Amino acid sequence: MPRRTVVADPDFGRTLKELREQHGLSLRRLGGLIHCSHGHLWDLESGTKRPSVSVALLLDQALDAGGRLSAMVHEVSADTGTRLVVSEQAVRSAPPGLEFAPDWRHGIDVAVDLWRGDMHRRTILRQVSFSATAFLPAAMRRLMSSLDERPAGDGTRLIGAADVETVRRMTSTYRTLDNQFGGGHIRDSLVRFLNTDVTELINGRYSMATGRQLLSAVAETTQLAGWASYDAGMHGLAQRYLIQALRLAASAGDRALGAEILAAMSHQAAFLRASSEAVDLARAASRAAAEAGIAAIEAEPAVLEAQGHAVGGDEKACASALTRAEAIFDKADRTSEPQWIGYFDESYLAAKFGHCFTALGRGDIAQRFAARSLDMDGRQYARGRQFNLVLLAVAHAQSGELEEAARVGIDAVEACEGLYSIRARDYLTDLADRLSKHVGLPTVRDFAERARPILENV
């Protein structure tokens, strides 16, 4: 893949401004039409930033410029100086969802485009790449948001409390199935629900009070779609769902859910070994959680910050964050928490401590936390139980207890059967790699044979 740089005509900004003013559009309105911030457009008009080819093409479409703007911008190879061609069709087929829209109406448009695109352009969307840094602009905009928007719909169908409750109950049902069977089992059905029923609701008629409740419920559903996509190994697509869930939560003024979504972003970044971004996102989640004032939600970002530090090998910073997480959790009043954070209990916290210590190579310490993490409802959280079994097996492997690692690993293989979770298979693959040099041991060989059918289907 050649390294690219953008070259723009010096008159691009002046031309853009002339075309915009001819159409009587403000920077904010034009930004809404192409799902781009008005601040970025101001930078383009003033010449302080260069446009990308894709933005130039979108501006051409919005301003009926007949290709005038895109003709003023092109990409060249930084290595050879050769001009690179990007077709308009490629831009039109580019997956939506990375933009944190400037207002709630455009946020709905971006979310609906994502759901529709997922249904109709699934092959393209499943192949989009993940970049942890793409989370950061959205996180920053959420922290800078006033959360005082007034989402009132002016559609035809009247939307009321019963419609909002339907979305919440459907989401709760899907969440239960996700925990029991994995994201791969629910993802397609959940996206279909968003693309049909939910789209109709958010395009309906509702008051500001109902609108906030509705967008909060839809944000939770969209977050779950992101989580299911993450669990199914579709990381770039999951990222887009989480960003749009964050935008919807901001539109609803739901501080607690916004903090939870930022925490999910940190979780995914740490899983993909993006240490610094995981830490930054956890800190953003911590700030948002402090606004919500719910202790369990404040404890979660602290332990996720610790995991980000652990992935980066910073043992001291990890230990400090773990101490803070434990202190906050001990003060939590569990009776006042939202239903969707019910998973965050002593077992979950112990599992996160265990993951931190295995990431640091301290299986000796991780063992007791991993063992404690299995004190959980293994039927309701079947996938979590499988994760925790692998965690315990890895801790044993790091401590040189190879046969015990293999014995626990066999339990993890059995727990994986019936799960449609790429993460579950990824964890098993990591354990199998750790034990692969010791297949001469009977128990390790037995584990390898039991795990092979599952790992071969990855």
Fold of the CATH domain 104-355: 1.25.40
3-class DSSP state of 392: helix
Confidence of residue 4 (pLDDT cuts 50, 70, 90): very low
Domain 4-92 has CATH 1.10.260.40: yes
pLDDT band at 458 (very low <50, low <70, confident <90, very high): low
Q: Which pLDDT score is estimated for 313?
A: 96
Determine the residue type at 65: A
Structure tokens that stand for 401 in this block: 């207890």
Inform me whether the pLDDT recorded for 15 exceeds 70.
yes
Name the pTM for this structure. 0.79
Return the pLDDT at 295: 78
What distance in Å separates the CA atoms of residue 189 and residue 203, rounded to the nearest whole number? 21
Residue with tokens 């831009």: 91
Q: What is the pLDDT of residue 83?
A: 47
- The C-alpha atoms of residue 410 and residue 408 are separated, in whole angstroms, by 5
> 269-290 pLDDT, tens per residue?
999 999 999 999 999 999 999 9
- As a whole-number percent, the residues of the chain with pLDDT over 70 amount to 89
Residue 76 CB neighbour total at 10 angstroms: 16
- Whether pLDDT at 411 is above 50: yes
The Cα–Cα gap between 103 and 35 comes to 10
Mean pLDDT of all residues in 303-308? 97
Q: Check if the beta carbon of residue 304 is closer than 8 Å to that of residue 274.
A: no
Q: Residue 323 pLDDT > 60, yes or no? A: yes
- Structure token pair of residue 406: 């293999």
Amino acid 236: pLDDT: 93
Averaged confidence pLDDT in the chain: 89
Domain boundaries, the chain: 4-92, 104-355, 356-458
| Dihedral sign computed on CA atoms, order 373, 432, 303, 129 | negative
Pull the structure tokens for residue 116.
């529709």
pLDDT at 3: 45
Give the tens place of pLDDT for each residue, 32-43.
Answer: 666 566 677 887
pLDDT at 296: 76
Confidence band of 91 (pLDDT split at 50, 70, 90): very low
- Would you state the pLDDT for residue 261? 97
pLDDT in tens, 111-169: 999 999 898 766 666 667 888 999 999 999 999 888 889 999 999 999 999 999 999 99
Alpha helices in 64-160, H assignment, sequence order: 88-92, 104-120, 122-126, 135-144
Q: How confident is the model at residue 73 (pLDDT cuts 50, 70, 90)?
A: confident
The residue with greater pLDDT, 7 or 241, is: 241
Q: Which residues pair with 77 in a beta bridge?
A: 4
Mean pLDDT of 342-369: 95
Spatial contact of 389 and 408, defined as CB atoms under 8 Å apart: yes
Flag whether pLDDT at 389 surpasses 50: yes
Structure-token pair, residue 203: 């395009």
Given this model, what pLDDT does residue 85 score? Answer: 47
**CA-closest candidate to residue 215, choices 148, 152, 142, 136:** 152
